[in-house]
């Protein structure tokens, strides 16, 4: 019987006298078809897959099926003991907070990897940005997140969800909404629906460029209700702003949320050159 069934999850938790812990954001997947679909799309038989927060192992089981090997990081000692018992040595398992892992010294540092996780909602953004900012050779990141978080990553200019995060992530990755997931496929059932979203690297990393460009984007969105001009006043001179608006024919009252990724790249080019 697959791990991702309600009967199996309840049986294992009962046998170990355990329960889902709110402090770790634990909600276990209980639909084997959904889990299989996620893993099949996220993995490659030739590549290692990294999983963060495997919990009871609902997703881990399917990742093993479609990956060369699986490395898991689990922060909860109780879940770690269950995983050890259920999977023995079939997965490489670490009892560790992923946010504290030194990614410059991991064993897979110099090999291409996939990442696939049902991320705890309370640490979704910190974990993703740890991965985004790392020098790991990432082939693809596939994660289950709250639907509203997925909407922000995928948002287009002009929408309420569009912000600096949208621009930065879409510069680095091709972002794809893989599937929406009902809250009913989790135990215990969360209050909101989820979505599976994937990030595939699309640019060669240039850290020097990124530092300046991302700072420009963040400053442009600093106060959402302010115009772009007023936000830029915090770090550019009036002469620089006037020159920028004239060269790009920007409207005086334009706001950052009205600008696309291409627009921000054009602004960078005017200000700093290529």
- Identify the pLDDT of residue 1: 62
pLDDT tens track for 38-71: 999 999 999 999 999 998 899 999 999 999 999 9
What would the two tokens of residue 230 be? 């007023």
* Start-end of H helices in the chain: 6-15, 32-42, 58-66, 77-87, 124-132, 147-154, 164-172, 207-220, 228-232, 238-248, 261-272
Domains annotated for the chain, with CATH where assigned, are 6-201 (3.40.50.150), 207-272 (1.10.8.100)
Is residue 157 within 8 Å of 258, Cβ to Cβ? yes
| Site of tokens 């200000």 | 271
- Identify the pLDDT of residue 15: 74
Q: What is the pTM of this model?
A: 0.89
**Kind plus residue range of the DSSP H or E element containing 143:** strand 138-146
Taken as a whole, the chain contains a residue count of: 274
For CA atoms 218, 219, 225, 229, the dihedral sign is: negative
Phi, psi of 96 (to 5 degrees): -160, 145
pLDDT tens track for 6-31: 787 788 777 766 665 665 566 888 89
- Residues in the chain predicted with pLDDT less than 70, given as ranges, are 1, 16-26, 274
- Identify the pLDDT of residue 111: 97
């Amino acid at each position: 019987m697959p791990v991702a069934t309600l009967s199996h999850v309840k049986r294992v938790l009962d046998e170990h006298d355990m329960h889902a812990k709110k402090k770790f954001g634990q909600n276990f997947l209980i639909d084997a078809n959904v889990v299989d679909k996620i893993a099949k799309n996220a993995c490659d038989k030739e590549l290692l897959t990294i999983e963060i927060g495997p919990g009871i192992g609902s997703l881990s089981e399917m990742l093993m099926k479609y990956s060369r090997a699986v490395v898991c990081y689990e922060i909860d000692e109780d879940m770690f003991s269950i995983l050890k018992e259920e999977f023995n040595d079939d997965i490489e398992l670490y009892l560790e907070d992923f946010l504290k892992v030194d990614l410059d010294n991991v064993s897979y540092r110099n090999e291409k990897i996939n990442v696939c996780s049902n991320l705890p909602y309370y640490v979704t953004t910190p974990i993703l940005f740890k991965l985004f900012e790392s020098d790991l050779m990432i082939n693809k990141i596939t994660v289950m997140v709250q639907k509203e978080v997925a909407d922000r990553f995928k948002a287009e200019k002009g929408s309420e969800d569009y912000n600096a995060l949208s621009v930065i992530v879409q510069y680095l990755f091709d972002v794809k909404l893989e599937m929406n997931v009902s809250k009913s496929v989790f135990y215990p059932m969360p209050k909101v629906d989820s979505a599976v979203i994937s990030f595939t690297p699309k640019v060669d990393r240039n850290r020097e460029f990124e530092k300046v460009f991302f700072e420009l984007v963040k400053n442009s969105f600093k106060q959402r209700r302010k115009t772009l001009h007023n936000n830029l006043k915090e770090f550019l001179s009036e002469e620089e702003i006037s020159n920028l608006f004239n060269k790009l024919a920007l409207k005086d009252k334009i706001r950052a949320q009205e600008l696309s990724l291409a627009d921000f790249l054009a602004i960078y080019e005017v200000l700093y050159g290529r």
